[in-house]
Amino acid sequence: MFSRLLFFVALLLIPAALRAEDTPVEKAGFAKRLTIYLARGPANACGAGCDRWIAIEGEIDRDAAARIRRFLAGVKDTQLPIYLHSPGGNVEQSYAIARLLRARKAVARVGRTSVPACSSGTQVDAACLKIKGANGEVEAELATRNAMCVSACAYLFLGATSREVAPDSVVAVHNSKLMFVVHGHPPPQVVADFRRREMVSADRDRNAFLAAMGISHELSELIRTVKYENLHVLTRPELYRFGIDTRPLPETLWAVEKETRPYVRKIAQQKKGDGSAFRMMEWRLLCENKDRGRLMFVREFDEGAAGKSTVVMMAGADKTVAFGRLPARFGKYEVWSDAVSSDTVKAMLAAPHLQVGESTPSSDAKSDPKSDPKPGLVTFDIDTTGLEQGWTQLLASCPAATAGPKPASAFPAVVSPSVNAAPAASPSP
């Protein structure tokens, strides 16, 4: 599935001089030329108050920078976010596009844009590309789950002054391969010396580019260690340490997951200490009936915690939403689950942010964080963008309220922790 998409090579072809060139490896599911277009989605599709964005997707071909330059010159709104979904391609072109984004002070994110009018479902057939290439805005949908920006796309991404990598999307890097077109029969030592000089030159160019983009030299050192046959998915601590995405709490929008029992989900990663580690967290809101939902909170267990922590969620200063008791343990995860009334869900939908508070009481602590949630809590906020739209979709298929007993178990079997579901990268055979 996703792993089959992640074996891509940044190929350097040398006819008379070194230049970055397209990889010959076929990239399934991507157009052979970089495509850029204006997209419009539902309210808040790209964040609070945002329903328009620029989509850039497909392989970075040898003429991509000129097309991007012409397109951006015609888009006067420089605040439109740019969403990237690309397997990479031409390295020199990615550097040139990155500099265009830097001059524009662009906001870039990793995300997949889908156009419902493309009936074939591939998003890259000739008819769909014609729709995307037409003048004006294209009605579209946006998702970060399984979106990727790998190989040369990572360089393009670094050009933006504001960069966001959602917890369920991927940025991956690897070293380049030098290929030669040799005329005649030069001595092997001459070819070897030329290869060495050109690789040193390529490394020097990459180092200069990353420095100009304000990225730590550690990234270049990492890239040199990754063979071109492989890909290294940048971890959240690496994204933070290299200066690529320095948000202390990156989070997804709330989005509907269309499983057997659908639910609305948000994933976030919380920085711990100096950023050398992040804690994965997930929230799920399910509809049990028209009058009651179920809110679940899953997170990685903190082995360093001194005692059992309790968690409470608030919608505003005075409205407790859920939790306040000790969690259940499933492997390396802690799971909280609470039924929430329709009035509580309405309070959640009305709040721009939900507050999550955590307390690790001492052994003699007697206070109940649910009845007295404020004292001793360490709190952080999560955004509610997408929650109202998602809940509205769930209600459409939710059963009517019944007078029967409530479910006996607080942990429905249909739901299992999936906070580790961010895409993994491994080379195809």
Residues of the chain with pLDDT > 70, as a percent, come to: 79
Query: When comparing pLDDT for 308 and 261, which is higher?
Result: 261
CA distance 320 to 333: 23
Give the pLDDT confidence of 359-384 residue by residue, as tens digits.
865 545 454 544 444 556 788 999 99
Confidence label for 135 from pLDDT (cuts 50, 70 and 90): confident
CA distance 294 to 345: 10
Give the pLDDT confidence of 339-364 residue by residue, as tens digits.
999 999 999 999 999 999 988 655 45
User: What does the pLDDT read at residue 403?
Assistant: 58
Residue 185 has pLDDT above 90, yes or no: no
Token couple for 372: 């007295």
Distance from the first to the final alpha carbon of the chain: 13
CB contact at 8 A, 424 and 3: yes
CA distance 149 to 245: 14
CB contact at 8 A, 282 and 336: no
User: What does the pLDDT read at residue 213?
Assistant: 97
Q: How far is CA 296 from the centre of its chain?
A: 22
- For residues 164-192, give the mean pLDDT: 82
Query: When comparing pLDDT for 238 and 13, which is higher?
Result: 238
DSSP symbols for 34-47: -EEEEEE-STTTTS
Residues of the chain with pLDDT > 90, as a percent, come to: 62
CB contact at 8 A, 158 and 108: no
Give every CB contact of residue 32 below 8 A, 6+ residues apart in sequence: 58, 59, 61
DSSP symbols for 334-402: EEEEEEEEHHHHHHHHH-SEEEEEEE---TT----TTTS-STT-EEEEEE-TTHHHHHHHHHHTPPPP-
The domain made up of 2-241 is a member of CATH 1.20.120: no
CA angle 234, 428, 209 (to 5 degrees): 35
- Residue written as tokens 């504001």? 162
- For residues 62-68, give the mean pLDDT: 96
Nearest by Cα to 128 from 115, 139, 147: 115
CA distance 34 to 63: 9
CA distance 354 to 424: 30
CB atoms within 10 A of CB 224: 14
User: What does the pLDDT read at residue 329?
Assistant: 87
Confidence label for 278 from pLDDT (cuts 50, 70 and 90): very high
Weakest mean pLDDT among 9-18, 137-146, 155-164: 9-18
Residue 13 has pLDDT above 60, yes or no: no
CA distance 180 to 388: 56
Q: What phi and psi values does residue 333 have, to the nearest 5 degrees?
A: -115, 150
User: What does the pLDDT read at residue 258?
Assistant: 87
DSSP symbols for 90-101: -HHHHHHHHHHH
Confidence label for 303 from pLDDT (cuts 50, 70 and 90): confident
User: What does the pLDDT read at residue 272?
Assistant: 93
Cα separations in angstroms, 295 against 57, 288, 290, 337, 379:
35, 10, 14, 6, 18
- Residue written as tokens 């994933």? 267
CB atoms within 10 A of CB 389: 18
Residue boundaries of the structural domains of the chain: 2-241, 255-396
- For residues 288-305, give the mean pLDDT: 88
Radius of gyration of the chain (CA): 24
Does the pTM surpass 0.75? The reply is yes
CA distance 154 to 159: 9
CB contact at 8 A, 293 and 407: no
Nearest by Cα to 166 from 85, 243, 284, 267: 267
Hey, which CATH number is domain 255-396, 3.40.630.10, 3.10.450.50, 2.60.40.1880, 3.40.50.1100? 2.60.40.1880
Residue 290 has pLDDT above 80, yes or no: yes
Q: What phi and psi values does residue 246 have, to the nearest 5 degrees?
A: -105, 20
Token couple for 377: 């809590």
Confidence label for 209 from pLDDT (cuts 50, 70 and 90): very high
Residue 195 has pLDDT above 80, yes or no: no
- Residue written as tokens 């939710």? 398
User: What does the pLDDT read at residue 404?
Assistant: 54
Query: When comparing pLDDT for 6 and 303, which is higher?
Result: 303
CB contact at 8 A, 358 and 378: yes
Query: When comparing pLDDT for 140 and 20, which is higher?
Result: 140
Give the pLDDT confidence of 100-113 residue by residue, as tens digits.
999 999 999 999 99
3-class secondary-structure state, position 229: coil
Helices (H), 160-246: 188-212, 217-225, 236-241
Average pLDDT, rounded, for the chain = 83
